[in-house]
Structure 1
Amino acid sequence: MDRAGSPSRFGRRTLLQTAVAVPAAGAVTAVGTAQAAEAQAQTQAQAQAQAAGRGRGGDSESPRFVIAVLPDTQYLFDADSADPEPLRETFRYLVAERGEANIAFMTHLGDVTEHGTEDEITLAAATFRTIHGKVPYSVLAGNHDVTGADDQRGDSAYLDAFGPERYRSMPTFGGASDDGYNTYHVLRAGGREWLVLALDWRVSDKGLRWAQGVLDRHPELPAVLTTHDIAFPAGDGEARLSDHGRRLWDGLIRGNDQIFLALGGHYWPPGRTVLTNDAGNAVHVHITNYQDRYYGGGAMIRLYAFDLVRGAVDVETFSPWFLARDPRRRTPLAAETVELTGPDDRFSLAIDFAERFAGFAPVVPRRPRPPSAVLPRGTVAYWRFDSAGLDGGGRTGRPVADGSRARDLSGNGNHLTVRRLHDGPAELLTWSDGHHGDQPAHASLRFDGGKNPDRGAILTTAADAPLNSATFDSGYTIETFIRLPDPFEGDHAWMGILSWEGRNGDAGKTTGWSPDEPTCSLNLSPERFLQYVVYPHRQDADPTSWSHTLPAGRWTHIAVVNDGRRTVVYVDGSPIARNPAQPSTGIATLGKPFVIGATQFDERYEQGFYGWIGDTRIVSRALDPKHFLTHSP
């Protein structure tokens, strides 16, 4: 099914309604019509932005953003057969979708025009007014835009229209080489800055020295290199460096670890390869060019959607011009060119960004935060296992002895005491410096619990701890950090993470699965689904939340939030799907201990937790996710 009939990741339907309502300009003769075309482009762009309420900038701190790549448009600007409308539609799409898709930048890969004449260049420059001032962009010269051996060629119609003066008002523009044919941009996206180098199709030695100087002045910025000619297709989608590409590789790319992505056009069909630089890291080299396709590619764009959370770049290729047409009225060639889904047109790159950029921009670990920084109003209990919270602190792998105390740093006296279940061995509970990257304390406890035989270790409050009887009628937030071993071996079905002791039947509850299960517990099912089951203080009910499968080998933050009416469980800051709407007010506690490391059934522990548990906090009110332990200052 094509895009017009399927859900869109970037929500393009409003754009298409607006775009279809604007009359197509049709073919425009280049000679003598540049001023009229520019005025028309500006009027259309303003009308589009006003009608749709768009044109806004994206979210520079979001871990997901897009860099748009526009290859050779030369057949759309070919003497008196020029038709700028496909490119205008592409630009209208980028402007309209900038906010929703979080489009941070667009880069053109050269060969803007077919002959580089003043008329062609002037019409192309007028068409770029559709995007100018709304989405930052770069344009570099291709061999059809200029003549002369390299970037020392001197003045040209291209330089007059697409030289440095065009970009000076853009917030991303960083500067240009003395000749004006090479520029660089610094954009902020994903919570950091990125460098885009836009290099002439034939960079001189002087141009290479300039580019090196740019990299030297921005040593911590990951860089995307764009140029017109870098690689050619060698068959089966494999790309190989061209002669000029080899010069760029040897003279600039391989020795600068910052450059992780290099993009070029010029050749077709598209292709890609991965090269290894002098630092031993991957450099992705891509050919992007669709001028050989119907209507010169229809101003087809490629979107590189960066996802810093998943460690991926998702790539898709389509033509907004064809997309904007009524599917029932598309010609066969237009229909088959709307979107390209071949392996070199739609694909994903797996990039561990922190690891890939570690050589020039290592991630600085978040420093531990003192207990005083993570005690919001209403904190009932807060435990951590570094020297601030655990008697005697610890050393990695060393057992934590029975009787050791984890102090309640809230000052409310809900201290925890360590004990093994069923006289288990010392290695059932050891200290670790492992921790979630956003955890306040850089320490945790490693539990080696199991089901057969019954084994484990727990930390429990004293018999008279205030927490034992707290009912939380006004709401609560319970947070903890856990990590499951990888591989996740053995039978650890229904192991508990934390709970209150006692039978819900003794609290007068009648609706649950069994009257012998505790009144409140956070558990893990055989499928590693998180289960939060609570018997509310006021209602005779047992609303239960279920998560997806939790990952092994990775730290996970869990938050249970109740606002006095219902409960929502969050995993890594995201609400899970199966949060019941059933009313839930408070927790039916029985005055019995609160426990970390296991869950009772019929007041007996059958197994202990298997994995790591870090900082744990309970607050007597609902917290917004921005106030979770992961976000505390």
Structure 2
Amino acid sequence: MRDMDRRNGVARRALLRTAVAAPAAGAATTALGDGPAHAAAPGGGGRFDPDSPRFTVAVLPDTQYLFDADSADPAPLRETFRYLVAERGRKNIAFVAHLGDITEHGTREETGLAADTFRTLHRKVPYSVLAGNHDIPGSTDDQRGGSPYLDAFGPRRLASVPTFGGASPDGYNTYHVLRAGGRRWLVLALDWRVSDRGVRWVQDVLDGHPRLPAILTTHDLAHADAGGTARLSSHGQRLWDAVIDRNDQIFLALGGHYWPPGRTVLTNRAGNDVHVHITNYQDRYYGGAAMLRLYSFDLVRDTVDVETFSPWLLARDPQERTPLEAETVELTGPADRFGMDIDFTARFRGFAPVVPPRPRPASAALLPDTAAYWRFDPAGTAAAGEDGAPVPDGSVVRDLSGHGNDLTARRLHASGPRALTWSADHHGGQPAHASLRFDGGKNPDRGAILTTGPHAPLNSRKFTSGYTIETFFKLPDPFEGDHAWMGLLSWEGRSGDAGKTTGWSPDEPTCSLNLSGERFVQFVVYPHRQDADPTSWSHAIPVGRWTHVAVVNDGRRTVMYVDGSKIARNPAQRSTGIATLGKPFVIGATQFAERFGQGFHGWIGDTRIVARALDPGDFLVPHSS
């Protein structure tokens, strides 16, 4: 609620419910250390997945007009809670944070009715609450002593919430530790007015959880102008100076109290963004109709999508909504529906840096039936040089499977030393922490290749029982020039010499992995037993980041996976084996009419061929099936 004098002498009218009995806060204690390590047990609406990279934090601002003496109506908030319980699994709701001013006057009757309403949510979805200036005497700070709010919503109630980590000795400030997105997060729920003693407690909590990204919630944090631009309030500035600015963990701070809603981004002393939001809809129809804001985190896309709506109004038949209900059911202005781009790895690096995995030994990649495995670090070649150094022609990369399919490097055409260089760049999940940088191109043709010797077993291997071919590659950013139809790997020779009469041209090789002008990965094969050329096509591959490609054939048909995901354009044609011609296997280019034109342009990492179909869980970067 906006700053205004509390109404004095409010008659304690009898409401629909009495207060939920709860012990006073005298027994509240502070629990530091690691705190809870798990998310709540699943409630209704399906199972919450704490390891999914997509999860939701729900935020409830001021509900005070729904708990206002004898005009109280808890129905909208009950519907919001029912929605959260029902949707927990589908939206992967990790937590619910109320921003204070639960009630209008803070009487025992209002607070009891609100506490009873919270039973719809209690033990089903973890939540936090905090006191707003209408829940307690607004002229006091967290050292005020007992209150109906503390009796109903104090630490003893919250102790049964599985994410609850502890409370300040006064009981008005609490913290929660939740697991979502495969990691732990800290939520601070702070009183309307945090005392100096409370500030010291907050710092102790942060110091006790130094690696956890934190969301700070309080009632009075910021106010906004009519355009939705937020500025810290005087109390918000105090919290900024005393807590937020100096603790890089806090990346998101949320408050209610004022309207209209708004947001801003501030820079802390570590030079990182802190998103500050004001969320309050009590001035809207039906006291805000228990308006709910969902913060949907996506750790893969590095974004948080925000939406605001009333589940109570959403549940009504659209044909029967009044004009005010239809106007309020969902808010889509720039302060209510928006996205936040957050590079979570970079933002959290200062306090929770990601420890890169160590290189894996070659033995870890040698599954049964491995036909060939190459890597470009010292484990794969004694000739591995410094990052950026040219790879000399004649350098040998060993086949670590032990089958004798060693590769020898050579440049194409009149290409210079920079056509092939050693590189320390690599895919984060790749076994070897090294790659080769190919600088191929057209007009004039240039590039470099690595080829097996004339008598390598791989040259004639037919793979009639199936195969898995996988490799890592990265395209430069910017991806400049014409590199259409450059090859990543192939077998030499003409498919026409193997009997091919169908498809685009008999001058194609019998098997190749290429990149089209639209950056689609193409796998085309002339099978050992069919006169056909089944071809798989990926989507457009991004530039500037590593990609893992696996081509899996089970002896009947071929399926391509990109970064562990099966692509759409896999041929239904039967495809058994590869019609190899006894000619070398190649990394770095594809022939046409037995001539190499351009070479590959970008990086290529570990490459492996297994003589059977692999499950995605067995790829060089394991993925769930």
TM-score using structure 1 length: 0.91
Aligned equivalents of 2:189, 2:20: Cα separation in 1: 27
Aligned equivalents of 1:119, 1:35: Cα separation in 2: 6
1:553 match:
544
Q: CA deviation at 1:170?
A: 2.2
5 Å matches for 1:95-134? 95-134=85-124
Does residue 474 in structure 1 map to residue 474 in structure 2? no
Does residue 457 in structure 1 map to residue 440 in structure 2? no
Does residue 71 in structure 1 map to residue 61 in structure 2? yes
Does residue 31 in structure 1 map to residue 31 in structure 2? no
Does residue 202 in structure 1 map to residue 185 in structure 2? no
Give the secondary structure class of the aligned counterpart of 1:607. coil
5 Å matches for 1:256-267? 256-267=247-258
Which has the larger displacement, 506-515 or 133-142?
506-515
Corresponding letter in the other structure for 1:114: E
Deviation by residue 1:394-445 (Cα, 9 ceiling, x = unmatched):
1011111111111111112211111111242221100010111111111000
Corresponding letter in the other structure for 1:252: V
1:136 match:
126
Does residue 285 in structure 1 map to residue 310 in structure 2? no
Contact 1:30/1:123, CA 8 A, preserved across alignment: no
5 Å matches for 1:74-93? 74-93=64-83
Corresponding letter in the other structure for 1:98: R
Aligned equivalents of 1:531, 1:481: Cα separation in 2: 15
1:618 match:
609
Deviation by residue 1:186-239 (Cα, 9 ceiling, x = unmatched):
111111111000000111111110000000001111100000110001231100
Does residue 211 in structure 1 map to residue 194 in structure 2? no
Contact 2:63/2:287, CA 8 A, preserved across alignment: yes
Q: Which runs of 5+ in 1 are unaligned?
A: 1-28, 39-51
Contact 1:374/1:632, CA 8 A, preserved across alignment: no
1:21 match:
none
Corresponding letter in the other structure for 2:463: F
Contact 1:55/1:134, CA 8 A, preserved across alignment: no
Q: Which runs of 5+ in 2 are unaligned?
A: 1-11, 22-41
Does residue 603 in structure 1 map to residue 611 in structure 2? no
Does residue 377 in structure 1 map to residue 368 in structure 2? yes
Q: CA deviation at 1:277?
A: 0.5
1:343 match:
334
Which of 515, 529, 537 aligns to 2:528? It is 537
5 Å matches for 1:135-284? 135-147=125-137, 148-284=139-275
Contact 1:495/1:524, CA 8 A, preserved across alignment: yes
Pairs aligned (count): 592
Instruction: Answer 1 or 2: which has greater helix percent.
Output: 1
Structure 1 57/202 Cα, relative in aligned 2: closer, same or farther at 3 Å? farther
Corresponding letter in the other structure for 2:613: A
Which has the larger displacement, 138-147 or 470-479?
470-479
Q: CA deviation at 1:55?
A: 4.0
Which of 315, 325, 329 aligns to 1:334? It is 325
Structure 1 581/447 Cα, relative in aligned 2: closer, same or farther at 3 Å? same
Give the secondary structure class of the aligned counterpart of 1:344. coil
Aligned equivalents of 1:326, 1:358: Cα separation in 2: 47
Contact 1:434/1:444, CA 8 A, preserved across alignment: yes
Which of 418, 421, 426 aligns to 1:430? It is 421
Q: CA deviation at 1:264?
A: 0.4
Contact 2:19/2:108, CA 8 A, preserved across alignment: no
Does residue 575 in structure 1 map to residue 566 in structure 2? yes
Q: CA deviation at 1:279?
A: 0.5
1:502 match:
493
Structure 1 624/545 Cα, relative in aligned 2: closer, same or farther at 3 Å? same
Structure 1 97/378 Cα, relative in aligned 2: closer, same or farther at 3 Å? farther
Aligned equivalents of 1:57, 1:105: Cα separation in 2: 14
Structure 1 99/331 Cα, relative in aligned 2: closer, same or farther at 3 Å? same
Structure 1 55/165 Cα, relative in aligned 2: closer, same or farther at 3 Å? farther
Deviation by residue 1:86-133 (Cα, 9 ceiling, x = unmatched):
111111111111112111111111111111111111111111111111
Structure 1 340/483 Cα, relative in aligned 2: closer, same or farther at 3 Å? same
Q: CA deviation at 1:474?
A: 2.4
> Displaced runs of 4+ in structure 1, greater than 3 A?
29-33, 35-38, 52-57
Which of 385, 395, 408 aligns to 1:417? It is 408
Does residue 323 in structure 1 map to residue 308 in structure 2? no
Q: CA deviation at 1:565?
A: 2.6
TM-score using structure 2 length: 0.92
Alpha-carbon RMSD: 1.9
Does residue 357 in structure 1 map to residue 328 in structure 2? no
Corresponding letter in the other structure for 1:522: L
Aligned equivalents of 2:321, 2:55: Cα separation in 1: 31
Contact 1:501/1:593, CA 8 A, preserved across alignment: yes
Structure 1 431/364 Cα, relative in aligned 2: closer, same or farther at 3 Å? same
Give the secondary structure class of the aligned counterpart of 1:548. strand
Deviation by residue 1:61-89 (Cα, 9 ceiling, x = unmatched):
11111111111111111112222121111
Contact 1:460/1:596, CA 8 A, preserved across alignment: yes
Corresponding letter in the other structure for 2:360: R
Corresponding letter in the other structure for 1:99: G
Contact 2:17/2:113, CA 8 A, preserved across alignment: yes
Contact 1:61/1:191, CA 8 A, preserved across alignment: yes
Aligned equivalents of 1:296, 1:290: Cα separation in 2: 7
Contact 1:481/1:555, CA 8 A, preserved across alignment: yes
Contact 2:43/2:125, CA 8 A, preserved across alignment: no
Q: CA deviation at 1:276?
A: 0.6
Does residue 310 in structure 1 map to residue 337 in structure 2? no
Aligned equivalents of 1:480, 1:345: Cα separation in 2: 44
Q: CA deviation at 1:179?
A: 0.5
Aligned equivalents of 2:463, 2:290: Cα separation in 1: 60
